[in-house]
Structure 1
Amino acid sequence: MGARRRSILAILAFLMLMGIAVYFRLWAIHYNISSDDTHLLRQQFDIANREAMDESAEWRLRYDKEVDRTKKCLHELQVLRDSSQKGDVASGINHKLAILQKENAVLLERLETLKRELEEERLKCSSRNMN
């Protein structure tokens, strides 16, 4: 009876050691996968961040170009107004003034549209960065 009890205890101890070994092996595999996931997530975040910065720079460039065009039109409009006040008004100048005013109105609308689009893109970028 004593030899049987010892063999059962020996088998039980062996099985416990094997269970512990399997547990540590699974834990090591899980740890490696988790550290790889962290590295992968960091890389994806860096890529997304770079893309958002590039897109933001592109929208800023478009906005700046539209602002410059609008300023140029406003300057031409002011020059025409100043010259018309001096008495140098001719039908060609009035026609050009009307065209510039229409173009200025279109450009101002476009500028407002770009401002809204820029704000929407900023909100998208900030929501991506939050996630």
Structure 2
Amino acid sequence: MGGGGGSKKILVGLVVLMLFGVAVYLKLWTIDYTVSSDEAELLRRQFDLANREAMDESAEWRLKYDVEAERVTECMNELKQIKGSFEVDDGNAASLNRKLVNLQKENMALVERMETMKQELEAEKLKCSLQ
């Protein structure tokens, strides 16, 4: 008769131990779940911030490009005017010729700078798309 009471104690001890183990497992699972959801929120915020920064930088480069494109257009228009007046009026040819040469130099410099900025803009767009 003494053998039956000992196995009941062991069985009750096992059940209590199993319940304790399940409780610890559930507690660890909920802690891990909260940390994981917090990490996901943090990652989302970091991604949003990086995306906004990339958009701002892209807009800044686009503005620089637009300003340079406008300057080149103005220079080209002035160059066309001078060429037109040069063909019509030969009276002040020397000063017009100097202006023409200066504008052509400035135009070439602006075109080169615009091409450089265009390449930098493309590189920034590529960099933004990779993020």
TM-score, normalised via structure 1 length: 0.95
Cα offset, 1:80, TM superposition: 0.5
- Which structure is larger by alpha-carbon Rg, 1 or 2? 2
Residues 49-105 of structure 1: CA deviation (Å, up to 9, x unaligned): 110110011000000000000001101100000001103342111011101001100
In structure 1, distance between residues paired with 2:25 and 2:88: 93
Report the equivalent of 2:8. Answer: 6
Report the equivalent of 1:118. Answer: 121
1:127 aligns with 2:121: no
1:50 aligns with 2:75: no
Aligned alpha-carbon RMSD (Å)? 0.8
Query: Runs of 5+ in structure 2 lacking a partner?
Result: none
TM-score, normalised via structure 2 length: 0.95
In structure 1, distance between residues paired with 2:125 and 2:89: 48
Tell me the percent identity: 55
Cα offset, 1:35, TM superposition: 0.8
Residues 17-59 of structure 1: CA deviation (Å, up to 9, x unaligned): 0000000000000110011011111101110111011001100
Amino acid at match of 1:33: V
Query: Runs of 5+ in structure 1 lacking a partner?
Result: none
The aligned runs of 1:11-50 (5 Å cut-off) are 11-50=13-52
In structure 2, distance between residues paired with 1:92 and 1:48: 53
In structure 1, distance between residues paired with 2:118 and 2:60: 13
